[in-house]
Structure 1
Amino acid sequence: MPKYRYRGRTGAGQLREGTVDAPTLSDAADEVFDRGVTPIDVRPVSGAGGVRVDDLLRQLSERAVGLDDLITFTRQFRVLLRAGVPVVRALRGLGQNASSPRLGRTLGEVASGLESGQSLSQAMGHHPKVFPRLLLAMIRVGEESGQLEESLQRMAESLDQERTTRERIKAALRYPTFVLIAIVAALVVINVFVIPPFADLFAGMDAELPAVTGLLIGFSEGFVAYWQLVFGGAFLAGLGVRAYIATEDGRLRWDAIKLRIPGVGGIMRRALLARFARTFSMAVRSGVPLLQAMDSVAEATDNAYIARGIRQLRTGIERGEGLHQVAERSGLFTPLVLQMLAVGEETGQVADMMDQVAEFYEREVEEDLKKLSSYIEPFVIGFIGILVLILALGIFLPMWQMGSAAL
């Protein structure tokens, strides 16, 4: 059974520390209460108790918390808070009625964390596989500004927009994906069944082959002989890239590369700027100190490259420079954002200007997503054309040469 380390105070105010054995974090907090101690902090002991087979099977069998589950949770949580329901009671009620067993169990553990003295963002931060970075950052902004309900409303709208974005991206990528799958299948068939007979034919004629033909024959022979290594190497390379992206440096580089992808990168940058403007506006309007708001807004962008640039703005602000000046020097923001920041500083209406920036970019992103398929199709058609040209030259060019020589 898992072990949990607790720290709390007795009714006389004395500090107590120790460990308890309990199936879940909620049960551990209840056990501490039964001992006459009000828990301040309860957390699992790393490496204690090992991994139970039933817990492992439960984690494998449970489906992951989806976007629809998070949208439902944020909307219902906001409604309950607006109705005056205490946070812990609201979380336990939502956990009991959650359609996802994993989310229901997690909400119960978050409620136990609140009872042990943690803040809502801290308690939810112990479950990064359930709650995304953006949600945690928005919860933190809401706690700091005292506008948790508005943060949840913004978060629900953001998640809803993300769902719409994913659906449109899937629809735009459906045709190119099918085409690429067909191309890969065709390449396998050509290398295994088509090119080898032609290679035997050309070898029997003892003719000098063009460079393109020799390249195709060499690639086909290598693929037939080492296809296990080819697929195994591709699989291992994919795992290696995924593991590197999971590191801090890898995520920073990958997030920077995503913003440079032709066509798609511009859409992602505008979406991130809209998210930055909306969150920054809410933080400023709520009276959060500027330096503190920078950290929260950086987390809310959910892009390591943009977040690093936003945090670097703090250095100039701490030296007394204006927000527009340090933003212009960073090179992260478009002329529209810089102009709105300058006007906002002059008029004292930074929040209003950022709201206008967010609305403008949100409309642009929505229009660009509708045209996403038209951005991708030229690249797919060009790629197919190049492959067909290489195959045609490699197979038919030597045949044309031999036919000309015979004539």
Structure 2
Amino acid sequence: MAADATGPAAEPGAAFRAEVRDWLVSRLTGDFAALAGTGGPGREHENLDLRAEWERELGAGGWIGLGWPESAGGRGADIAEQVVFFEEYARAGGPGRLSHIGEYLLAPTLVAFGTEAQRRRFLPPIAAATEFWCQGYSEPDAGSDLAAVRTRAVRDGAQWRITGQKVWTSLAHIADWCFVLARTDPDASRHRGLSYLLVPMRQPGVQVRPITQLTGTSEFNEVFFDDAVTDAENIVGEPGDGWRVATGTLAFERGVATLGQQLGFARELDEVLRAGRDSGAYDDPVWRDAAADAWIGLQTLRHHALRTLGTPPGELPGVEASVAKLLWATWHQRLGELAMDALGPAATLADGGLSAAQRLFLFSRADTIYGGSNEIQRNIIADRLLGRVPRG
């Protein structure tokens, strides 16, 4: 059984695939060879300086912003070509990406909602990997319920002043900028009165504290804004328009970038299958059936993504994005459980540190919570999709 999630359905032509493959093979050598397979879920702490250098190599090669429209500084690659890039990147063992929040979340948000001046200012440094981004959404009392955020921003002449706390902020410790959902109208309730601000991280009013996870690493952070400032023009959309912009970002998060995620899942499934063979779990028909279900589930994820990735640049994906999140979060969590079953009693031991299977299991416990919990996704699906079905 092979976990490879690739196939001929996405093939746009051998020439482009050969171009991508040749470039990756020629670059993932020398010092970069040490990056192969590193930096995945639960391992984001690995080789940060070298991975930042790798991002700049990708940028110089024109591989960041591959799917952005040419008017935004991208290559205007179609979905099939983007799929090919993700496939070849995974095959080559490309490391976990440090620029994905800027490239796949903020950039399409600016294309859809930003001003021309904002696109000129922020897209080129993302494409060159000279500026990294983090996402300032969740708060201690506002996780999946983003409408309850309390971080506030007050207009002060030519600046916004931001005060509050964000939590579970991935890669905040290396980020240069953060897109922050803040309340700019204290008298408005819930979804109203929120604004989407672009805030520099490297200033006296910003403090980042790492949060140690179950894996023992600290990819996530809590971020404190204490009268931090950003220029008045660094608001995306109008004041009070933050909810629309922020939900647009979440929709982009579940777009084409999920294909790269799925190729990482395929590598993890291969590792679990090898662990099952090594431990003898593969000889158990019950475990083998569960492994077959995992492989089938991975194909389902891939084909759902390919079926729903036809959204033109600048337009928001529909409710399918919530379906995709619900599918992959549950699938990945079950893969972690399958990995523990493959190890048997050894799964409870961590001599000299966690194994890849143990790290997968522990990290995946959060999959059904972050990025919008399963419960929230079901509510969105029920409201926006099932709610359209006439009752009678």
TM value normalised by structure 1: 0.25
Where relative contact order (Cα < 8 A, 6+ residues apart) is larger, the structure is 2
Give the strand-richer structure, 1 or 2: 2
Give the helix-richer structure, 1 or 2: 1
TM value normalised by structure 2: 0.26
Structure with higher Rg: it is 1
